[in-house]
Each structure stands twice: as C-alpha cells, then as structure tokens.
Structure 1
C-alpha cells in the first residue's frame, strides 16, 4: 500500500500556521489581492487598508506578509507592527528575469552535479520518503518547507527538488511556486523561488547554485514563469552571492512578514 504524503513539516506551532494558511487559501484563492506559496496567505500590495487586512489575516493564521514594499516605506510598517505587538521580518526582494534562466543553463553546463548525488523532483508521483528527505534538509538549515501540496504542484504550480546521496539521504534542496494570483499583473510571469539549503558536510560543492538553477529552469519549462523572485535577509552574504551568480538583482522592494508571537513562538515563520 502506498504511503500517504505528508504535507506539513516543522514544529507543532509552524505546522498549525501552515494548516491555517492552506485552509484560508482554499477560501480566498479567487481573490487577486491575496498571495500564497504554501506558507500563509498574504497581501499582494500595500494600500491604505492593508494593515487592517493584515491584522485580520494574522489573527486567523498567526502570520502574514506584504509582498512588495518600497525601501522608503519600511519604517512605517515597522512602526505599525510595533503598535500592534507584532514581530516583523524584513526580506529584500531579489528578482531574476529571462536573463536568470539563460544564466542558469550556463551554470549547469559549467557545474555538473557531483556523481554520487541524484536529484529527485518531488511531484505528485514521488514517494513520500522523497518529500520527507527534502523537509529534513530544509528544516536542518532553519528553512520551513512550504506545504507539500504546493511543492508537488498539486494545489498550485510549484516544484520541490532534493539531492539524495547514495544512501538515499537528502543533502540539498530547492523549491519554487506561484505566488501572486493569476489575475494580478505579475501573476502569469513571476513566481517565488528559494528554499536553498545544503547540509554542512556538503557545502562548498555549489549544490545550492546547481539546484537553484534547476528550479529556475523547471518553473519556466513546466509552468511558463519567466521571472523568479526571492526574499533575502539583508546582510546574508551567502544567499546574496548565490542570487547574484544566477543573475538575480536586488530590486529595491521588500517582503515584510508579520507574526503574532503568541501563536508562533520565536516571532518568525522561517529563516
């Protein structure tokens, strides 16, 4: 008998947020103002009513986010978060256009996967163990995997990649998924990309670069996305270097994630 796929990983509190996010997405997936990529439902754009809507989303889920905030507006949202006793995490948006796909192909030609590794695409037909190995790598590096139904491309366009060694152990991973509603101006062309994680013993082998390049190409070939974006904590030099190697550039906007620390101890969804 086939093993049932597990869709949620992390701590009990994280899993609760992921479940609530998925349930809310099932209710709001026709609303182009909303974003979702397998963690929590957020707002695509910041307008005059955004904070009140965010507060409602946070009350329901424990976490939510604004998808694109200008650099000059960050202090305003930080003050709003403090006023409402919410924690806020700032990620600078790095964007890759068609150039990133071309760069990804070149990098894969230059840097082949080590011979002792096999990359598995965690799709709807992949064994449950593949998803578990992807989650193990991601969580070991402090990165919360989005919902498995998204990474497997079941609930919306998405992919998960995991590199397995000869014993079947996951050692590196990457992921990507649609982010905006299809009717949003960015919805048909731009997707979220990231979840690059490598176990300490395999670092220095360019695995994040290789799997990241594979994910960029896969999202274009499979779903037609010509742009990818990711959020990088300012000052995270390693992540910034990988993004730059793949042709992504900091675009001057930011993802701001808001969390109710009472619902999610630690005050943030993921690294």
Structure 2
C-alpha cells in the first residue's frame, strides 16, 4: 500500500527511506520514524554516514548532536555541499507518563470528539485524514506502513467530531533498534489541530493520549520530538507534558538538488 504524502521530493525520500530502513534494520546506528533514515548518535563517523544517506534518499540527519558540537557538525556537512537545519531535541522520561495522566484528568478531550487509532486494518480514508490535518501545518506525515504499525511498531491517532470531520492528530513510532541503549524511546508527536478548533486544549489532550498509548502499545518509557526554535507554542505544549528541551539538537542535512530551499518537514 503506497501511502505517502507531501511534495514529489518528500514522497521520494520516504519511499527510498523505507526500503533503506529495511536493509539497515539490524544496525543500531540507524533509525527511521517513517520520514527517511537518520543516524541516532553523534560520533566520529556521523558526518560520513549522514552525507551518504542524504545523497541516497535526498535528506537525512543526526538525532543526538550535543549542542556544543552543533556548529562544527553543521559546518562539516555544509562543506560537503549539503544544506543543514537545526531542530530542538525535546526528550521526556517516565515522568511524562504521569504528566499525561494528570493532563487528561484535568482537561480531557472535548466531549464532541472521538479518537480513532490507525492500524493495519484501518481504511485508507483514515490515513488520508491524518495526512490532511498534519499537512495543514506543514508537518510531513510518516509513510502509511509506519502509521499503521506494519514496518515497525507505531500508530497514528485521529480525533473526529460528531460529523466525522478529522480535527486533530497525534502519533508515535518505536524507531530505535532493540539493542540501542535508548530502545525504549519513541518518536512522539505529529500534533496538529485544524484552525477553527485551536485554543481548546485538543492538541495537549491528544498528545497525552498518545503518550499513554505508546506506553501500553509500544512499551515506551522515554519520548522524543523535534521542535523548531520559532515554534514556541509547541515547545510550551511539549514541556507541559514532560517532554522538554534537552542538551542535544537534531541536525538535518538535505541534498540541495532535492531540497533547494524547503525543509523536510516543519
């Protein structure tokens, strides 16, 4: 099932990345959460690995670059002809689980909303609903096989109103190799709400539900997400759920022939 979204270059990156992720699935240096392939940890080979991945699929990155090494790492990648971007790396531990429970007890989802979880049996319409809401905010959805939990453990969530209209999304995927020291850390987020329902606390409640679902479904005990410096509202929301700015950043690298001025995702 070819469920990919975004621009032609974004689609190509996801399709190639999904094939490559299967080939690299036994190597704990790599991870994928349905939008290409990245390396997990900064180290002596990081620049070479990121460069190779970006050349193969159009874009890649390193997820755990210490902040004090960020400028040097970017400069090395840019010297090799790649465009770079830096995203804040927010990380939460088991305290996020407690904060999620408290958040839902204090302010649950509005009563008119119901939540559907995407899995292998979900209709294609539900996956498209997820993508539609995500892309309203410039957030690239994961490839469908990841949203469905087929290619690796994961799920998407869609909140719908009584008319059946999708109004918000969230999700999580277990992207790290089982042998990695952070194997219990999931990529969490994909939080988006349609404009006319913003300001009701929907994203926070659905994000809390996604934390609890990832805990029970995926065995998650740590949670990570990327937040750009300009997205202060998202930073506040994540922090309120115990997923906070860390000592690391995510450094993305893009082949300028594929991503000349655009980001891979918001």
TM-score by length of 2: 0.96
- The residue aligned with 1:249 is 244
Give, in whole Å, the separation in 1 of the partners of 2:106 and 2:43.
44
Give, in whole Å, the separation in 2 of the partners of 1:267 and 1:202.
28
- The residue aligned with 2:108 is 112
Give, in whole Å, the separation in 1 of the partners of 2:209 and 2:34.
20
Conserved? CA contact 1:122–1:151, under 8 Å: yes
1:266 Cα deviation after fit: 2.9
Are the structure 2 counterparts of residues 117 and 265 from structure 1 closer, same or farther at C-alpha, using a change threshold of 3 Å?
farther
Give, in whole Å, the separation in 1 of the partners of 2:39 and 2:48.
11
1:115 Cα deviation after fit: 2.1
Are the structure 2 counterparts of residues 22 and 84 from structure 1 closer, same or farther at C-alpha, using a change threshold of 3 Å?
same
- The residue aligned with 1:135 is 131
2:75 corresponds to 1:86: no
Give, in whole Å, the separation in 1 of the partners of 2:179 and 2:217.
19
Give, in whole Å, the separation in 2 of the partners of 1:167 and 1:264.
38
Alignment equivalent of 1:259, drawn from 235, 254, 258: 254
- The residue aligned with 1:239 is 234
TM-score by length of 1: 0.95
Residues 120-171 of structure 1: CA deviation (Å, up to 9, x unaligned): 1011121111111000000111000011111111111111011112232211
2:165 corresponds to 1:166: no
Q: Which runs of 5+ in 1 are unaligned?
A: none
1:1-271 correspondence to structure 2 within 5 Å: 5-187=1-183, 189-271=184-266
Tell me how large the CA RMSD over aligned residues is: 1.2
SS of equivalent to 2:41: coil
Q: How many residues align?
A: 266
Are the structure 2 counterparts of residues 102 and 29 from structure 1 closer, same or farther at C-alpha, using a change threshold of 3 Å?
same
Extract structure 1 runs of 4+ deviating beyond 3 A.
none
1:264 Cα deviation after fit: 2.7
Give, in whole Å, the separation in 2 of the partners of 1:16 and 1:211.
30
Give, in whole Å, the separation in 1 of the partners of 2:136 and 2:249.
26
